[in-house]
Structure 1
Amino acid sequence: MTTDTPLVAITMGDGAGIGPEVTVGALLDEATNRRCRPVVIGDLARLRQAARISGAHAELVAVDRVADAVFAPGRINVLDLGLLPEDLRWGEVQAAAGEAAYQYVRVASELAVAGEVQGICTAPLNKEALHASGHVFPGHTELFAHLTGTEEVSMMLSTSTIKVIHVTTHLGLIDAVARINPGLVERTVRRGHAAVRDSGVADPRIGVCGINPHAGENGLFGYGEEEEKVVPAIGTLRADGINAHGPLPADTAFFLASRGDYDLIVAMYHDQGHAPVKVLGIEEGVNITVGLPVIRTSVDHGTAFDIAGKGVAAVGSMIEALRQAAELSPAPSTRGHPCPAEHGSVATPSSNSPPRPD
């Protein structure tokens, strides 16, 4: 580990879920510590409980600032916010855990905007607990957009087989179809195109899904949504030299991508993109928020309340999320100030207004 590796803030997630366990487990991985310098934003006491439950041998140390962190094998540096009650129950929705999870994300966002870390990796939070604490956001993606003052972001799922970016995410299906328009499709593809190029693909091949079965099959299914909402965006993108194709039937687009025909698939709504990725292997799936002024990755699984506190949580997805955060984050020497002035200031701890919907 050297000072050339990026500093990555890891938010502990909901303390009643498996977040503390997978955080500790992933940070004891040797490869993780070669790739980045991780600092956990969370509660030291809960992380120590998680280490004991998991049988992990870790030196968990509280630090006041990222600059105070010392990186050594077996040592985990923690910015200890000390927000969780000692009697917090494992595996249950609790407002105290939701409030703490919100504050971890807030602090990580502030560190990123200030340039003290180059990337963020998040353990899962629980939306019901988050809402119970008074912070009404659909999920991490929208919360980060709000905290960094970013008007519009996209969710991208990345595996070794395929990458998928979503035009809409946490909306009911009827609302998602209503929300889709050519401008949103075009902006989403551009964000995905930039992200894939940044990962090293010079001219990404992008497959854009339709909305209806068989992408409408020339008007046979639906009410012309593809022609109205998707086709104009593809025309504009191709005129600008972006290698986008579609609308494609979703039931074949992911197969084509898995065999290498496309570098990125654009899904129109949440389950259209999530279901194939999870079938291909939830353990290696990583959630990347595209469009933020900072790199943010996450596991592609939830808080798993049914197994929380039992020491059996798998850490593979967290390790992969940290790997991608490290590889996508800029080197510390080039970080500068990662959040341009037009993004605005970071929200205060009491802010709970919702961001622009996806």
Structure 2
Amino acid sequence: MTELPRIAVTMGDAAGIGPEVIVRALLDPECAGRSNCVVVGDAARLRRAAELVGLQPDIVTVTDVSECEFVPGRINVIDLGLIPEDLPFGALSPVAGDAAYHYVRVASELAMAHEVQAICTAPLNKEALHSGGHIFPGHTELLAKLTGTSEVSMMLATPRVRVIHVTTHIGLIDAVERIEPGLVERTIRRGHQALVDAGVSEPKIGVCGINPHAGEGGLFGRGEEEEKIAPGVKAAQADGIDVVGPLPADTLFFLAGRGDYDLVVAMYHDQGHGPVKILGLEAGVNITVGLPVIRTSVDHGTAFDIAGKGIADHRSMVEALRLAAEMAPTPSAV
């Protein structure tokens, strides 16, 4: 019998849709037989979410991964007991923000100790995280800090397009200032290695420009393409990586969408996120590339406007769990 990877699933912000999508995803037949999951969160909140979505799983509290029993209909929970019973859904809460931090912290500790082989995260709310005393732009930067990783990249994956970002959670002017050849090259290399690890033996990579038409030979912008991007692309090419650019972003995403490229390197947050989200949030998965552990996530937020109503779409969580299971090693291989 094939040994299944163990995945720590963090509950995210308890006031958002995370508890609902976790319960639905872990009971979805699509997730059956792919991995063994343990939720790091709050058992009472998950029971409440199960009631909201009309499901009746056996939600069992454990103190350690070794206590988990992976059988159909059972959800194992490492319960940190941080969420008050009367915490409302759909409202910003410092308590929920602090709890979301600790869920990720514990999951990271489990992963670094090889108790689990991957982490899959439900969404947290950045404002709640900050109000809870944890000043990080998001999961990507938080996980880098917790695992002692100096530099990571965000990759978004859909069935049609994969995108890795040179910069993410900073303003546009700051992003342009931060982009430089070394960072571009390292991002290309991280993306290339991630695809090779995922079974794409010779990935074809396209790199976006910053300006319209990738600067049109200096007509637009201030020469950023030639100064900041082209040298990084050439350095990766010299090492045998199949990468081209800088290319006009709009054209590149069209070509990638029809299958000409396995990966697009976006220069800043919205340049990469916009095209992916047009394809549908339910299909998107967020991957942190460069960590010493596998981490995937849903590609949507806490959705406070529908939290607690039992109507949240759980398909992105199913996809995130599927991808985590595919990328993770088996326990005996670690």
Q: TM-score, normalised by structure 1?
A: 0.93
Question: Are 1:188 and 2:187 an aligned pair?
Answer: yes
Q: List alignment gaps of at least 5 residues for structure 2.
A: none
SS of 1:34's equivalent in the other structure is coil
SS of 2:9's equivalent in the other structure is strand
Matches within 5 A, 1:23-172: 23-172=22-171
Aligned to 1:206: 205
Aligned-partner residue type, residue 74 of structure 2: R
Matches within 5 A, 1:153-302: 153-302=152-301
Quote the offset at 1:32 in angstroms.
1.1
Aligned-partner residue type, residue 164 of structure 2: I
- 25-34 vs 92-101, which moves further: 25-34
Q: TM-score, normalised by structure 2?
A: 0.99
CA separation in 1, counterparts of 2:4 and 2:70? Answer: 11
Aligned-partner residue type, residue 273 of structure 1: G
Aligned-partner residue type, residue 78 of structure 1: V
CA separation in 2, counterparts of 1:200 and 1:44? Answer: 36
CA separation in 2, counterparts of 1:20 and 1:281? Answer: 21
SS of 1:237's equivalent in the other structure is helix
Aligned to 2:326: 327
CA separation in 2, counterparts of 1:163 and 1:193? Answer: 11
Aligned to 1:345: none
SS of 1:23's equivalent in the other structure is helix
Q: List alignment gaps of at least 5 residues for structure 1.
A: 336-358
Question: Are 1:318 and 2:317 an aligned pair?
Answer: yes
- Superimposed CA distance per residue, residues 130-175 of structure 1 (whole angstroms, 9 cap, x where no aligned partner): 0001100000000000000000000000011010000000010000
CA separation in 2, counterparts of 1:186 and 1:311? Answer: 44
Aligned-partner residue type, residue 158 of structure 1: A
- Superimposed CA distance per residue, residues 287-335 of structure 1 (whole angstroms, 9 cap, x where no aligned partner): 0000000000000000000000000001000000000000000011101
Paired residue total: 334
Asked whether the 8 Å contact 1:285–1:317 carries over to 2, the reply is: yes
Quote the offset at 1:30 in angstroms.
2.2
CA separation in 1, counterparts of 2:39 and 2:170? Answer: 31
- Percent identity for Structure 1 against Structure 2: 69
Moved beyond 3 Å, runs of 4+: none
CA separation in 2, counterparts of 1:200 and 1:108? Answer: 26
Aligned-partner residue type, residue 302 of structure 1: G
SS of 2:39's equivalent in the other structure is strand
- Superimposed CA distance per residue, residues 241-294 of structure 1 (whole angstroms, 9 cap, x where no aligned partner): 001101010011111001111000000000000000000111110000000000
Asked whether the 8 Å contact 1:166–1:269 carries over to 2, the reply is: yes
Asked whether the 8 Å contact 1:23–1:318 carries over to 2, the reply is: yes
Asked whether the 8 Å contact 1:3–1:332 carries over to 2, the reply is: no
CA distance 1:3–1:135, change in 2 (3 Å): farther
CA separation in 2, counterparts of 1:108 and 1:3? Answer: 24
SS of 1:112's equivalent in the other structure is helix
Quote the offset at 1:3 in angstroms.
6.5
CA separation in 1, counterparts of 2:168 and 2:177? Answer: 13
Aligned to 1:11: 10
CA separation in 1, counterparts of 2:85 and 2:119? Answer: 27
CA separation in 2, counterparts of 1:53 and 1:233? Answer: 50
CA separation in 1, counterparts of 2:137 and 2:32? Answer: 32
Aligned-partner residue type, residue 45 of structure 2: R
CA separation in 2, counterparts of 1:132 and 1:309? Answer: 22
CA separation in 2, counterparts of 1:142 and 1:331? Answer: 26
SS of 1:232's equivalent in the other structure is helix
Asked whether the 8 Å contact 1:25–1:315 carries over to 2, the reply is: yes
- Superimposed CA distance per residue, residues 103-152 of structure 1 (whole angstroms, 9 cap, x where no aligned partner): 00000000000000000000000000000011000000000000000000
Quote the offset at 1:75 in angstroms.
0.5
Aligned-partner residue type, residue 169 of structure 1: T
- Superimposed CA distance per residue, residues 51-93 of structure 1 (whole angstroms, 9 cap, x where no aligned partner): 0011012110001100100011110000011100111011011
Aligned-partner residue type, residue 87 of structure 1: D
Asked whether the 8 Å contact 1:98–1:129 carries over to 2, the reply is: yes
SS of 1:144's equivalent in the other structure is helix
Quote the offset at 1:33 in angstroms.
2.7
SS of 1:35's equivalent in the other structure is coil
